[in-house]
Amino acid sequence: MAELNGQWRVPLADIDLGPEEEAAVLDVLRRRWLTMGGVTAAFEADFAALTGAEHALAVTNCTAALHLAGLALGWGPGDEVIVPSLTFVATANAVRYCGATPVFADVTSADDLSLSPDDVAARLSPRTRAIVVVHYGGYAADMPALLALAGRHGLDVVEDVAHAPGASLDGRALGTWGRIGCFSFFSNKNMTTGEGGMLTTDDDALAERLRLLRSHGMTTLTWDRHRGHAFSYDVVAPGYNYRIDELRAAIGRAQLAKLPGNNRRRAQLDAAYRALLPAAAPGLALPYAAPRGVSAHHLRPALLPPGVDRTAFMTAMKERGIQTSIHYPPVHRFSYYRRAEGPALPITEAVAAREVTLPLYPGMSAGDVEVVVAAVAEALAVTLDEDSRPTVGLTALAV
Ligand SMILES: Cc1ncc(COP(=O)(O)O)c(C=O)c1O
């Protein structure tokens, strides 16, 4: 990664990989059992302990986790599932995999980029079956309000916790508020296994269903047979092969051990951005001024002042060696989903047009944050035309 990131003075993200992961992988190789087995079981136990979930099931990636969640909850043709549009497309694609229809709802405000409970309420129909909540950037969505709404209407809540391992709200881990939590260990996430994911649930029957669907609908695993615990198996559902493997589970265990410390480091770096950016870049809004609970600080989103050409800004940042990104191009605007477009999503559209994500990863130094802040100030100065320079600071950004 260091080599890949060589072109950047400060990349958008970087992973914390070291001797712990190397030793863990070597140990698996030497034990000569590579597919899902004892190391995966230990990884799942560690993850259940971190979140307080009754069950944790490791899977190929978060997209597979979301798919299995929908299948286990019985989503199918004719069902509507409410999702944010300000998310990675996998959140909506997984609903489509089940044959159900994603219905996009707006986010709360320019400060809270997760689902608006009021807007979700406005999108309910007799066909609504569930809500998929995304904890954008590692920040908790308004789970009490969303769960209350879901409870009133008999809806299931699934949490897309791709950004928020280790985050909590009112002392309860994100991913354990809804019926099922879906985590990602993709390589730009707070903890990584390359590709990988985890399902969490407190429901024994759901856990059993998820376990079956993860591995072809088979009643025993190759691992069970290897250990002499079974000789054959039945198939009770048309399941999938969404298993993780021991190499990635071993990396996951090492990464999980570092997660609390790395999340704390992210919080410090984010606080440094918050301390420096308002003076250096007036007019740039920083969402989540007063976040709910304990964030995982996966992303540092910023909203550019009106009048700034985002591509020019990102190009100016690139010229200064700083990688930036956009989270997200709204899903309802993609060609495939435009057909399913419902009523307008004004806050999503306003936010998505101005959002730029700044570098944030535990290996950043305080000096790196200063370099990014200085580059933001310069990039704004060269891209903001005279007439658009904000005179009223952050209020210029209210949407
Ligand atoms: C919000 C969100 N949901 C789902 C996913 C899909 O995760 P994975 O790449 O592990 O399938 C991602 C990954 O980028 C994500 O950011």
33-66 pLDDT per residue, tens: 999 999 999 999 999 999 999 999 999 999 999 9
Q: Is residue 67 exposed (0-12), middle (13-18) or buried (19+ Cβ within 10 Å)? A: buried
The pLDDT tens digits for 212-250 are 999 999 988 888 888 888 888 999 999 999 999 999 999
Mean local confidence (pLDDT), 176-189: 97
Query: 59, 61, 62: which to mutate for ligand 1, most atoms within 8 A of CB?
Result: 62
Q: Is the C-alpha dihedral spanning 88, 272, 388, 310 positive or negative? A: negative
Reported as a pLDDT band with limits 50, 70 and 90, residue 304 is very high
Of 319-328, 347-356, 384-393, the least confident: 384-393
Query: What value does the mean pLDDT of the chain take?
Result: 94
Distance CA 85, CA 101 (A): 13
Ligand 1 first shell, C-beta below 6 A: 61-63, 87-88, 90-91, 134, 160, 162-163, 184, 186, 197
CA of 52 to the centre of ligand 1 (A): 22
d(CA 43, CA 250): 7
User: Is it the case that residue 312 has pLDDT exceeding 70?
Assistant: yes
What distance in angstroms lies between residue 88's CA and the mean position of ligand 1's atoms?
6
Q: Which of 67, 129, 163, 189 is catalytic?
A: 189
> Distance between CA atoms of 344 and 179, rounded to whole angstroms?
29
For the chain, percent of residues with pLDDT exceeding 90: 88
Sort 6 into a burial class: Cβ within 10 Å, 0-12 / 13-18 / 19+: exposed
Q: Is pLDDT at 1 greater than 70 in this prediction?
A: no
Please answer whether residues 73 and 130 qualify as being in contact, where contact means their C-beta atoms are separated by less than 8 angstroms: yes
**Nearest CA-CA partner of 177 in 204, 202, 154:** 202
Determine the atom of ligand 1 nearest the C-alpha atom of 197.
10
Distance CA 298, CA 34 (A): 30
Instruction: Give the relative orientation of helices 204-214 and 62-72 as an angle to the nearest 10 degrees.
Output: 120
Going from the Cα of 86 to the center of ligand 1, the distance in angstroms, rounded, reads 12
Which residue type, as a one-letter code, is found at position 58?
Answer: A
CA distance 389 to 283: 8
Cα distance between residue 326 and residue 310, in whole Å: 10
Residue 68 corresponds to which tokens in the numbers above? 């299995």
Ligand 1 center–CA 184 separation, angstroms: 6
Q: Model pTM?
A: 0.94
Residue 201 β-bridge partners: 55
> Looking at residue 311, what is its pLDDT?
97
Atom of ligand 1 minimally distant from the CA of 134: 1
The predicted pLDDT at position 341 comes to 52
d(CA 289, CA 301): 11
Is residue 318 annotated as part of the catalytic site, yes or no? no
CB 94 within 8 A of CB 331: no
- % pLDDT > 70, the chain: 94
Instruction: Give the model confidence (pLDDT) of 76-87 as tens digits.
Output: 999 999 999 999
What pairing do the DSSP bridges indicate for beta strands 172-173 and 168-169?
A: antiparallel
Q: Kindly report which listed range (132-136, 143-147, 325-329, 333-337) carries the lowest average pLDDT score.
A: 333-337
Phi/psi for 334 (5° steps) reads -70, 150
Average pLDDT over residues 156-178: 98
CB atoms within 10 A of CB 290: 6
Closest C-alpha to ligand 1, atom 7: 62
pLDDT at 386: 56
| 201 membership: H or E segment, kind and range | strand 197-201
List the residue whose alpha carbon is closest to atom 9 of ligand 1: 186
Distance (Å, whole) CA 82 – CA 104? 6
